[in-house]
Amino acid sequence: MDGIDRTRVQSIFTPNVRYLEVVEDGIEAGNVIPADFTPTAANMTRVRDNIRKAGIIGRLVANDFSGALVSAIVLDQDAQGKPVDPIKVAHELELKVRQGLEGRGIDVRMIGFAKVMGDIADGPPRW
Amino acid sequence: MPSTRAVGHDEVILATADAGRTWRRTHYAPDAQRPLLDVWCGAGGHAIAVGAYSAYFTSEDGGASWTAGKLAAAPPPKARAARRGAPAGAADEARREAAITSTASCPPAPPGCISPAKRGTCTARTMAARTGVNSARRTRESFFGVLPLQGEAVRRLACAATSTAPRTRLELAEDRNRHGGHARWRGPLDDAGVAIVGLAGVVLVSRDGGRTFTLLQQSDRAGLSAALPAGDDEIAAVGEAGGKLISLRTRRRAREPRASGRRRPQRRCRAHGAGFPARAADLRASHADSRTVHFGTMLLAAVAVRGLRIDASFNKTLPVRHEYMRTYLDPKVAEFRGANRVLIALIARDGNMFTPEFFAALRKATTK
């Protein structure tokens, strides 16, 4: 998505979120979700442990493991050097993130300056 | 001579003698950093331009040369000067008062100040009488328009002054309370009739050269920014809700005899935010010409109103001159910026995020 700092997007899937643990032969570290992750029961347990070790409960992951965050930083200028329009960012978030993800047992909540601007620009919802 | 003046930002005054084909810049002062908001051309080459922060210019040669308004200032009231104490403060006060007095007293007779009052009636009162009393503590109020009140317009000039100045706001407070706004722009009907349009759909109509006004508030209460005469007892107005024709006929109107011996209607139009080179244009052209020009201006204004859009930027919300904000915006530390953040929370409705569906969705949200 344009206007987002890709290198600083944070969620348990991104490689900038790591865990660190002391083991018998030294220190072990790794991505919370390993690169070869497949959604098997064993891997789920491993990820749950990694989340605990990474100390991100309450920050990127809900206290009760009911949900998780994606944190992204909106840039001042996009790749072409043009100022980023927060309203456009908000619309893209709606199209690319909410649509297609919401439903099937998952709720999507979004906040941030860009989102607020988009909501204001779109006006009140039509009842 | 169908000559036209236009005024705008940076105190620019433009003149044309050929209905807008070529323009000449007769005054320009970008250093003053104040816009001119209206210009009025009277008989005998007399012209007056007014603008923000008490800008006031006169011309006696049809606008070829302009002089800043200068008058013998009334001395500041002694009590106030004494209360200020410090000599620098008193001098400052005197200077401010001088600036205001000079704009208020338009030659050769005291001007009237149109102040919308209770029940939509307006009274024209001389500002000269009020200057020493009320405006002393004002700093620099803005003039939004010049409007002739009677046939010999210059002699009865009204400076419709509205601004952030506290005393002015008091004057207009009652009207503001009732209507959510005060009359701000005007469009003359003819020399005896004057209409002022303003915020909250206010249309004030005077049939006696500005001494009394009748309020015709539009039901939609949408702000009006410009108006033009569009025939007998009708004006065409544009504003927040687009353009429309407004009938000025009132019940009282029938009992009032038409002012006899009225002169040729003076027509003018204003291009406000319509992509015109200047902010306010005052056109005096032949009867037939002016209709065309008016229509074009209205069209431009309508287009400009429709083209409004929200221009939002995160950095506009920051106090960019603050020391901390300067550090925040320093390109050297751009890596650490992160206040303009968007958070997307995915929540599993059954309270358990460890499902293949959730992880697929989270992966998709992360990679977008």
DSSP result, B231-254: STTEEEEEETTEEEEEE---TGGG
Query: Can you tell me the distance from the alpha carbon of B360 to that of B138, in angstroms, rounded to the nearest whole number?
Result: 65
Whether B314 contacts B32, CB under 8 Å: no
Smallest Cβ–Cβ distance between B342 and the set A87, A105, A112 belongs to: A112
Residues in chain B with CB shorter than 8 Å from the CB of A35 are none
Sorted by sequence, the CB contacts under 8 Å of residue B208 that are 6+ apart come out as B192, B259
Percentage of residues of chain A with pLDDT beyond 70? 97
pLDDT of amino acid B225: 67
Residue A11 touches partner B, C-beta closer than 8 Å: yes
CA dihedral B129, B135, B140, B143 (to 10 degrees): -40
- Determine the average pLDDT of the residues in A91-106: 85
Taking CB atoms and an 8 Å limit, are B365 and A11 in contact across chains? yes
Taking CB atoms and an 8 Å limit, are B342 and A89 in contact across chains? yes
Residue A24 touches partner B, C-beta closer than 8 Å: no
Residue B232 touches partner A, C-beta closer than 8 Å: no
Taking CB atoms and an 8 Å limit, are A114 and B360 in contact across chains? no
Percentage of residues of chain A with pLDDT beyond 90? 9
Residues in chain A with CB shorter than 8 Å from the CB of B362 are 11-13, 68, 70
Taking CB atoms and an 8 Å limit, are B345 and A120 in contact across chains? no
Chain A residue with Cα closest to B342: A112
Chain B residue with Cα closest to A71: B343
pLDDT of amino acid B8: 80
How many contacts does A have with B, using Cβ atoms within 8 A? Answer: 148
Residue A100 touches partner B, C-beta closer than 8 Å: yes
pLDDT of amino acid B140: 42
Residue B316 touches partner A, C-beta closer than 8 Å: no
Q: Pick B146 or A109 by higher pLDDT.
A: A109
- pLDDT tens for chain B, 368 residues long, are 456 778 888 888 888 777 777 888 888 887 777 778 777 776 677 777 777 666 778 788 877 888 886 433 333 444 343 444 434 444 444 444 333 333 332 333 233 333 332 222 223 333 333 333 333 333 344 455 554 433 333 233 333 333 333 333 323 333 333 333 333 334 444 555 666 666 667 677 766 655 566 777 777 777 776 666 666 677 777 777 677 777 777 544 434 334 444 444 333 333 343 323 333 333 333 333 444 445 666 666 666 666 566 667 787 788 888 888 888 888 787 777 778 888 999 998 888 888 888 888 888 888 87
- Give the start-end residues of each E strand in B71-219: 112-116, 122-126, 143-148, 157-161, 183-188, 194-198, 203-206, 214-215
Residue B308 touches partner A, C-beta closer than 8 Å: no
Residue B362 touches partner A, C-beta closer than 8 Å: yes
Whether B267 contacts B298, CB under 8 Å: no
What DSSP string describes B38-76? EEEE-GGG-EEEEEGGGEEEEESSTTSS-EE----PPPP
Q: Is the pLDDT of residue A115 over 70?
A: yes
Helix H or strand E encompassing B25: strand B24-27
ipTM attached to this prediction:
0.86
Q: Pick A127 or B4 by higher pLDDT.
A: B4
pLDDT of amino acid B234: 74
CA of A55 vs chain B CAs: smallest distance (Å): 17
Sorted by where each begins, the domain ranges of chain A are 1-74, 85-127
Smallest Cβ–Cβ distance between A112 and the set B317, B343, B348 belongs to: B343
pLDDT of amino acid B213: 64
Residue A30 touches partner B, C-beta closer than 8 Å: no
Taking CB atoms and an 8 Å limit, are B368 and A97 in contact across chains? yes
Query: Can you tell me the distance from the alpha carbon of B148 to that of B111, in angstroms, rounded to the nearest whole number?
Result: 10
Q: pLDDT for A29-76, tens place per residue?
A: 888 888 888 888 888 898 999 998 888 888 889 998 899 999 998 888
Taking CB atoms and an 8 Å limit, are A106 and B356 in contact across chains? no
Q: Choose the mutation target among A113, A119, A122 for the interface with B, i.e. most B CBs under 10 Å.
A: A113
pLDDT of amino acid B69: 65
